[in-house]
Structure 1
Amino acid sequence: MDHKKLIWFIDDNIVGNPKFAKELFRSLVPYKLKWASQASVTIARDDELLKLAAVSGCVILLIGFETLSTANLAAIIIKKNNVL
């Protein structure tokens, strides 16, 4: 892959608003771009969103995990996206 032609969307969670993300991804399709961003693991629950990301040119999607332990999440007071 030619990284000189890779576009990075700087967004902590590009799929945080799924409706907007779907519109964005659909609008990117005709440009045939290769792009990357960050997203929540919740993208895995939405087959349409995941497929649109791929079709629109997504080649890298960074997903961070604090921990898979509910007890550890409670200890550090992270309450977002704690259900897989």
Structure 2
Amino acid sequence: QGSKAEFTTNWLRWWDKSGNLLLWGSELVEQEKQRAEQEKLRAEQEKQRAAQERQRAEQAELELEQERISRQRLVQKLKELGVNPENL
């Protein structure tokens, strides 16, 4: 028993050899809408993951650049104090 096209009654339904219910056209449309929505969500999650990875890589590059600048300042300071950093 179920409702279809504004009618509530007993309906004859069919299954395939594997035991899967054969869907009505409207059910197939709804199933496809849900599949498309899931795919859209998956694509959005992948896009967000890629953006996060890009941000992580940019952050790592910034940290490396800051470390390089700090090293250069330290070398300069040591030279100003008359210390050759290569002899350390």
- TM-score (normalizing by structure 1): 0.22
Larger Rg: 2
Larger relative contact order (Cα-Cα within 8 Å, sequence gap ≥ 6): 1
Q: Which structure dedicates a bigger proportion of its chain to strand? A: 1
